Amino acid sequence: MIVTIDGVAASGKSSVSGGVAQALGIPYVSSGLLYRAATLLGLEGGLDLQDAPRLLDHLRAHPVRLEPLAAGNRVWLGEQEITDRLHSTRIDRGVSVVAAHPAVRAWVDEQLRALPEPFVAEGRDMGTNVFPHAPHKFYLTASARIRAERRSQERPENIPEIEAALLRRDELDRGQIAPAPDARVLDTGPMTLDQVIQTILADIRG
Ligand code: ADP
Ligand code: CDP
């Protein structure tokens, strides 16, 4: 059994997925962390993020592993944990360029499809491309201002700067962001985190 939770940047995907996964007693899978890890490797390797063939060679030479735990996903580069380095403003700026390469998307998708079910998968294209057969699909939205206000708790920039960066990333990501036709769309703006989680659980439990 797979539950997919897609949505725009900072719409609440990972917090909601973590809550839903914990209530169901299963792990959740944060696909964005693999795109972020690919971006970190590219930046630290001094690569041009536009150069997909070199980036992919670099990724193939470095063993990146996603550990999908309900309490929070962890990412490993060999024996070294890199999770804490994946949410910087520098990664936010580069990640959409990296995620636009079909070869990088195939590198991520291959790792996601190898994971043992059940799990909650969150990202942009979990319900459309990666797990189109999933029986439970959700898509989260909220206004850019609300998302920026929420993210300002986690980033050093001010709210208008964060809002502009989120809108820029939504625009760059638009090729892979769309609700699956069978997804339930939830505007999380007027809801608390717990209301979103309970709404999704009630829907799944039918
Ligand atoms: P994403 O994974 O989509 O980037 P996050 O899970 O990081 O989003 O959520 C961004 C922030 O918004 C988190 O700090 C989360 O707790 C907060 N948040 C506040 N209210 C809500 C809500 N109603 N729904 C989802 N997230 C919320
Ligand atoms: O948490 P936030 O929404 O800010 O980002 P994320 O889910 O960690 O995703 C980071 C970036 O990875 C996105 O801006 C997309 O460029 C890319 N991504 C993607 O293309 N497809 C996915 N399934 C997940 C993320």
HEC letters along the chain? CEEEEEECCCCCHHHHHHHHHHHHCCCEEEHHHHHHHHHHHHHHCCCCCCCHHHHHHHHHCCCEEEECCCCCCEEEECCEECHHHCCCHHHHHHHHHHHCCHHHHHHHHHHHHCCCCCEEEEECCHHHHHCCCCCEEEEEECCHHHHHHHHCCCCCCCHHHHHHHHHHHHHHCCCCCCCCCCCEEEECCCCCHHHHHHHHHHHHHC
CA nearest ligand 1 atom 14, residue: 150
Q: Looking at ligand 1, which atom is closest to the CA of residue 8?
A: 3
Ligand-binding site membership of 175 (annotated): no
Assembly ipTM: 0.95
Each residue's pLDDT, cut to its tens digit, for the chain (206 residues) gives 999 999 999 999 999 999 999 999 999 999 999 999 999 999 999 999 999 999 999 999 999 999 998 888 999 999 999 999 999 989 989 999 999 999 999 999 999 999 999 999 999 999 999 999 999 999 999 999 999 999 998 877 899 999 999 999 998 888 878 899 999 999 999 999 999 999 999 999 98
The answer, yes or no, to whether any atom of ligand 2 lies below 6 A from the CB of 137, is no
Q: Which domain holds residue 29?
A: 2-205
176 lines ligand 2 (CB under 6 A): yes
Residue 137 labelled as part of a binding site: no
pLDDT, averaged across the chain: 94
CATH at 165: 3.40.50.300
State the pLDDT at residue 71. 83
pLDDT at position 103 is: 96
Number of domains in the chain: 1
Our answer on whether the CB atom of 191 is closer than 6 Å to any ligand 1 atom is yes
Q: Is the CB of 150 under 6 A from ligand 1?
A: yes
pLDDT of residue 155: 78
Q: What is residue 27's predicted lDDT score, i.e. its pLDDT? A: 95
Q: What is the model's pLDDT at position 8?
A: 92
